[in-house]
Amino acid sequence: MKKLSSNKVFGGEHAQYSHYSDANKCEMTFAIFLPPIALGKGKEAQRVPVLYWLSGLTCNDQNFMQKAGAFRAAAELGIAIVSPDTSPRGEDVPDDPDSAYDFGLGAGFYLNATQAPWSTHFNMYDYILNELLPGVQQSFFVNKNSAISGQSMGGHGALIIGLKNPDVFTSISAFSPICNPVNCAWGQKAFTHYLGDDQQTWLQYDACHLLQNASKHIPILIDQGTDDNFLEDQLQPNNLIKVAQMSDYHLTLNMRSGYDHSYFFISSFIDEHLYFHATRLFAGE
């Protein structure tokens, strides 16, 4: 890994790294916050759990780190935060020919593409699970306790990756997630290009389908703003709630009056999400 930048913040360190990804066949960038307790020397240092944050459409590894205001609580709790980029990037990586924001660069949707030309590079699911997680565990003073969170497209990613890997993650949370991508324009566009026309293959990346068929239930917390412009057409949290009720899967959905889709919303409630994950990440230690 190559360190690109480093800043001291709340006694800890925020740093940005790049490394080559076999899954995405390109250089990938991620950011990490290490709390003070993970930076101590000798007996003073402790390995800490990690919260993985997945960002939304058009974002990269820095949006959450610079706008969410999560460092104070993470430093106090002793939790590392890792934020990867939202897609592969580079001269050889294909992009939407119409330069649309909801597909291509910045819009990897946290899946493994099966259709050309996307399948060579757009394999964010394998990248997160099989490269980023073990790479972080090997390279930094962290333990194997991991939780996952995200916003919008990243909330979709957190839900599907967490639900598909309940033995890897202690808990899942999301802000304004795309809950039922097979039934919204964002998901249908991305899935058609990345996965093809067979909609049965789409279900493996749909939170409603995965929740309905979950064999192991792990805690889920969702925050959604009532003034979110994308609420009804793209995000559809009510669909997930209906499936959860039918499947007897307990999850918490907070509808936050007056809040929108922005980082003003995320920064208002990010501490609650960190405390939610902390109770699970430190359980049994």
CA distance 30 to 5: 11
CA distance 158 to 161: 5
Instruction: Determine whether 271 is an active site residue.
Output: no
CA distance 60 to 106: 7
**How many C-beta atoms surround the C-beta of residue 97 within 10 A?**
8
Q: DSSP letter string over 138-163?
A: HHSSEEEEEEEEEBTHHHHHHHHHHH
> Of 61, 85, 223, 228, which one is the catalytic site residue?
228
In one-letter notation, the amino acid at residue 10 is: F
Instruction: Determine whether 152 is an active site residue.
Output: yes
CA distance 87 to 102: 12
> Of 152, 171, 173, 176, which one is the catalytic site residue?
152
Q: For tokens 């592969």, name the residue.
A: 88
CA distance 1 to 140: 11
**How many C-beta atoms surround the C-beta of residue 135 within 10 A?**
18
Instruction: Locate all alpha helices (DSSP H) within the chain, ordered by sequence.
Output: 62-67, 71-77, 124-126, 133-139, 153-164, 185-195, 199-202, 207-212, 237-247, 263-281
> Of 193, 209, 261, 277, which one is the catalytic site residue?
261
The residues carrying an active-site annotation are 152, 228, 261
